[in-house]
Amino acid sequence: MTATLVQQLINGLTVGSLYALMALGLTMVYGVLRVLHIAHAAVFTLGGYGGLAVYQATGSFWLALAGAMLAAVVAGLAMERWVYWPLLGKPPIATLIASIGLFIGLEELYRIVAGPEPYAFAVPLQLPEIRRGPLLVTPPQLLVMALTAGLLIALWLMLTRTALGLALRAASQDQEMAAACGMRVRGVVMANFAIGSALAGAAGMLVGIYYNSVSPTMGDVAGYKGLAIIVLGGLGSIPGTVLGALVIGLVETLVIGFVEFPLPRDAWAFLAMIAVFLARPQGLLGVK
Amino acid sequence: MYLYTVATLVGIYCILTLGLNTITGIAGQISLGHAAFLGIGAYTAAILTVTYGWDFWPALVAACLTAGVAGALVGAAAIRVREDFLAITTMGINFVVVGVFLYFPFFGGSFGIGGIPSPRWFGGPLAKPGFLVLTLAGLVLALGVNLWLLRSWAGLALMATREDEDSARAAGVDVRRFKILAFSSGTALAGLAGSLYAHYLTFISAGDFGFPFSITILCMLVLGGIGTNRGAILGAVVLGVLPELFRPLADYRMLTYGAILLALMRWAPHGLVGDESWLWRILRRRAAA
C-alpha cells in the first residue's frame, strides 16, 4: 500500500510538472494583458510536432527541444503581434472569442497538415532507471522532472535577478505605473509571450515523449486543464500556478489510483476549479 | 426529405442561438457551455419518454424546466464569477455534464440513448413536415421570449447589467436576480431545442453536446451579430446551411469557424447585421432615406 502510494506520488509529480510548464505561459500572459490565452494550448501542441520533426531529422534530443521551443516562441509572438495586441482595449469577451477561434482553427490545421492519427515519439533516453525496492522512477519520468526543475529554476532566477525579470513583475503589477517609469510595456508583453510559449513548447515535446504520442488534439485536455490550474493557483501568480499544477497532478493521480470514481479524470479538475471559484475566487495563492 | 432535415436542424440552431443571445447578447454574461443545456434538455426528454414512457408534451415541458433550473444554478454562480472566469466556469460545466452523460449507465453511457419515439399528434406519429412546423413554432416561441425580454423592464435591467454591472447595481437593479433570470430563460430555450433535437434524431449520445458544439452556437451568434435577434437567426441559418451547400466546408468546419470568430473579432465585432455593423447601418440609412 505505501509502496503504491509513493509510486503514485511520483507519477503525480511527473504529470504535475508537465501541467506546470504548460500553465506558466497562461498565467504570465494573464498577468500582463489580463486576457485568457486559450490559444496557448495550440502553441503547446506545436511544441510536440516541432520537437518530433526536428528529432526525426537530426536524432538529437537537445536540438529537438530547442526546435520545439523556438517554434513555440515564433507562434506565440505571432499571436501577440496579430491577435492580442490589436485587440487590446476591446471588451474581454472579444479577445476571449478571438482566442478560442484561433485555438480551434489551429487545431484543425494541425489535423489537416499532419493527419488525425497520433505519431509515436520514442526517444531512447541515456538516463538511469532509479529503483529503490519496489519503487521505480522510469527514465521519461526522470527526464520530465529534471527538465521541469531546471526550467523553473531558470525562470525563477530570471524573474528575481535580472532587469528583464524586474520589468516583467512590474508590468504585471501595474502596467501604467511601469510605463510611467519609462518601461517599454510592449517589449515586456512580448517577452512574456516568448517565455511562456517557450515553456509550453518544451511541455508539448515532453508530453509527446512521456506518453509516446503526438496528436492534433493533445492540446485539448492540457489547455483546459491549464485554465483550471491557473485559476486554482490565483490568476497571474507564478508560484501559485506551479503549486496548483502539482496539486492537480497529484490529486487526480491519487484519486484515479485508489478510488473508484464515476467521472473521467478531466472532469475532476473542472469540478475542483468550479468549487475554488465559488469559495475563493482569487485562487489559492492569489490576492484580492 | 433531406431539405426537411436541414430546415428542422437549422430551426433548432435558431432556438439555441436565441437562447444564447438572451444570456450573452442581452445580459452580457458569456457562456461557453450552451450545448450542455441542449444536452440536459435532450437527455431529460429521451429518458422520460424511453425509460418512463412519458408522452412527448409533458417530457418537453420537463426538458425546458430541467435545463432552466440547471441554468439558474449557473446564473447563481455567475453572481460571484465574472467575465473571463464565467467563461471558464461554463466551459468546465460543459465538460462535467458530458462526463456525467458518458459515465453513468442511467444516461446510457457511451452507447447513448436510442429509440426515442416521434411525437404523436392526433393519434398518429408526426411526419417530417409536421416536425418542421413544430420546430418553427418553437422558434416563434423563443423569439417571443426574447422580444418580450427586450421590451420589458427586465430587458432594460439586463442590458444595464451588460453595459456596466456596478452602475446597474448602484441604480437599484438587483443584478443577481436578473442574471439568474437571463440564464434560466436562455437555458430553458436550450432545453426546448434539446427535446426537439432528441425526438427528431431519435438517437442521442454524449458526444453531441460537447464543447465544440457550444463554440459552434457561439460562432453562429457572433457571425450574425451578438445582441440582436435577427443576428441570432441569420447566423444560425448561414452556418447551418453553408456546410450543406459546400461539402468541403463541412470537412473543414472547425477551421472555418475558428477563422470566422477570429476575423470577426478583429475587424467586425458586430457581426453581419448587429446594431453597429456596416451592413445594418447602410440598411438603416436606406430605410430612413
pLDDT digits (tens, 9 = 90+) for B45-91: 999 998 888 888 889 999 999 999 999 998 888 777 777 778 888 88
pLDDT above 80 for A262: no
Chain B residues touching residue A224 (CB < 8 angstroms): 91-92, 95
Query: A156 is written with which cell numbers?
Result: 525563477
Closest Cα to residue A217, out of A114, A288, A66, A145? A114
Sign of the Cα pseudo-torsion (B279, B285, B287, B289, in order): negative
Domains assigned to chain A: 2-117+136-279 (1.10.3470)
Strand B120-121 to strand A135-137: parallel, antiparallel, or no bridges (unpaired)?
unpaired
SS3 B3: helix
Which of B253, B265, B270 has the most A C-beta neighbours within 10 Å, making it the best mutation to test the interface with A?
A: B265
Of A90, A95, A263, the CB nearest to B103: A263
Inter-chain contact B84–A92, Cβ cutoff 8 Å? yes
- Per DSSP, the residues of chain A read -HHHHHHHHHHHHHHHHHHHHHHHHHHHHHHHH----TTHHHHHHHHHHHHHHHHHHH--HHHHHHHHHHHHHHHHHHHIIIIITTTTTS-HHHHHHHHHHHHHHHHHHHHHHH-SSPBP-------PPEEETTEEE-HHHHHHHHHHHHHHHHHHHHHHHSHHHHHHHHHHH-HHHHHHTT--HHHHHHHHHHHHHHHHHHHHHHHHHHHT-B-TTHHHHHHHHHHHHHHHT-TT-HHHHHHHHHHHHHHHHHHHHH---SS-HHHHHHHHHHHHHHH-TT-SS---
Is B252 an 8 Å CB contact of chain A? yes
Distance CA A81, CA B266 (A): 12
Q: What is chain B's pLDDT, residue by residue, as a tens digit (289 residues)? A: 788 889 999 999 999 999 999 999 888 888 999 999 999 999 999 999 988 888 888 899 999 999 999 999 988 887 777 777 788 888 888 988 998 888 888 888 778 888 888 887 777 777 888 888 889 999 999 999 999 988 888 888 888 888 888 888 888 888 888 889 999 999 999 999 999 999 999 899 988 898 889 988 998 999 898 888 999 999 999 988 888 887 777 778 888 888 888 988 888 888 888 888 888 888 888 888 7
- Closest chain A residue to B270, measured at CA: A94
SS3 B121: strand
Inter-chain contact B84–A106, Cβ cutoff 8 Å? no
Please give the model's pTM, rounded to 2 decimal places: 0.85
- State the pLDDT confidence band at A92, using cuts at 50, 70 and 90: confident
SS3 B120: strand
Chain A residues touching residue B255 (CB < 8 angstroms): 104-105, 108-109, 112
User: What's the CATH number of domain B2-118+128-288, 1.10.4160, 1.10.730, 1.10.3470, 1.20.1420?
Assistant: 1.10.3470
pLDDT > 70: percent of chain A: 93
* pLDDT value, residue A157: 92
* pLDDT value, residue B70: 94
* pLDDT value, residue A288: 46
Query: B266 is written with which cell numbers?
Result: 478583429
Is B258 an 8 Å CB contact of chain A? yes
pLDDT above 60 for A207: yes
Across A61-65, A178-182, A240-244, B229-233, least confident range: A178-182
Is A112 an 8 Å CB contact of chain B? yes
Specify whether the CB–CB gap between B29 and B179 falls below 8 A: yes
Which of A109, A230, A270 has the most B C-beta neighbours within 10 Å, making it the best mutation to test the interface with B?
A: A270
B118: DSSP letter: P
Describe chain B by its helix, strand, coil percentages, rounded to 5.
Answer: 80, 0, 20
Specify whether the CB–CB gap between B123 and B60 falls below 8 A: no
Chain B window 79-108: which residues touch A at a Cβ cutoff of 8 Å? 80-81, 83-85, 87-89, 91-93, 95-96, 99-100, 102-104
Q: Looking at this predicted complex, what is its ipTM? A: 0.80
Q: How far is A270 from chain B (nearest CA, A)?
A: 5
Contacts of residue B57, defined as CB under 8 A and 6 or more positions apart, other chains included, come to: B119
- Closest chain A residue to B90, measured at CA: A274
Residue B210: φ, ψ to 5°: -80, 180
SS3 B28: coil
Domain locations in chain B? Answer: 2-118+128-288
Distance CA B36, CA B96 (A): 9
Residues facing B113 on adjacent strands: B204
Mean pLDDT in chain A?
86
Mean pLDDT for the stretch of residues A251-259:
76
Burial class (CB in 10 A: 0-12, 13-18, 19+), A115: exposed
| Position with higher pLDDT, B155 vs A207 | A207
Chain A residues touching residue B222 (CB < 8 angstroms): 97
Chain A window 210-239: which residues touch B at a Cβ cutoff of 8 Å? 224, 227-228, 231
Query: B208 is written with which cell numbers?
Result: 453531441
Residue B175, amino acid: V
Strand B124-125 to strand A135-137: parallel, antiparallel, or no bridges (unpaired)?
unpaired
Residue B120: φ, ψ to 5°: -105, 145
SS3 B66: helix
pLDDT above 70 for A238: yes
Is A95 an 8 Å CB contact of chain B? yes
